Amino acid sequence: MAHFNKQVRIMKQVEKIWAELSAKAQEVETPQESTELSEEVKVELAIGDSLSKMSLEASEANSKMNNVLDEMYVPLRRVEKAISELQSGDDAKPYFKDFMSKLQKLEAEYDEGLKKISQAESDLGVKIETPPQFDDALSTLRFLQKKEEDHRESIKELNAFVKKLR
């Protein structure tokens, strides 16, 4: 209701201004005469002018604010995307199982070779020199056994980190 009353008052002011302008326009003026609006009309027109300017300024400020906020969210969106793309250590399990299978086969083959050499030494009663491939295999085994520990720790850390982020 208050909104309706406000509209009625505004309409009455517009009608009053229109009537005043119409009356001035009908008067015969000499070139030296000018149409003077009442102070009330001047104030009302000035208020309207400032409202339009202020509306435009507020809209422009809103656009700037939207742009600033959008720019502030860009890094956050990148972080969200990176988190969504994170893979847990579980994703590495098939590769780890394959690695472990091959490592176990190498260990078994190495142990079997050492047993055969030991058996041959026992059967022949002489010391048999270990072939150089066994030294290389032993070096590789030690390295890969250390890597197994590293891989297990990496998977564990990765799973803990991903769990915190998700």
User: Do 68 and 111 sit in the same domain of this protein?
Assistant: no
Residue 107 lies in a domain: yes
Residue 4 lies in a domain: no
Give 87-106 as a 3 state SS string: CCHHHHHHHHHHHHHHHHHH
User: Do 158 and 93 sit in the same domain of this protein?
Assistant: yes
pLDDT, tens digit (0-9, with 9 covering 90-100), for 12-25 = 676 777 667 666 66
pLDDT, tens digit (0-9, with 9 covering 90-100), for 34-46 = 556 666 665 566 6
133-141 contacts at long range (C-beta below 8 A, 24 or more positions apart): 134/110, 137/106, 137/109, 137/110, 137/113, 138/110, 140/106, 141/103, 141/106, 141/107, 141/110
At residue 12, the pLDDT reads 67
Tell me which residue range forms the domain holding 78: 38-85
User: Do 131 and 70 sit in the same domain of this protein?
Assistant: no
Residue 17 lies in a domain: no
User: Do 92 and 77 sit in the same domain of this protein?
Assistant: no
Number of domains in the chain: 2
Residue 136 lies in a domain: yes
pLDDT, tens digit (0-9, with 9 covering 90-100), for 105-143 = 999 999 999 999 999 999 999 999 999 999 999 999 999
Q: What is the mean predicted confidence (pLDDT) over 86-95? A: 88
Domain boundary among 85, 107, 122: 85
User: Do 69 and 92 sit in the same domain of this protein?
Assistant: no
What is the C-alpha separation between 114 and 27, in angstroms, rounded?
125
User: Do 67 and 101 sit in the same domain of this protein?
Assistant: no
User: Do 146 and 158 sit in the same domain of this protein?
Assistant: yes
Give 18-58 as a 3 state SS string: HHHHHHHHHCCCCCCCCCCCCHHHHHHHHHHHHHHHHHHHH
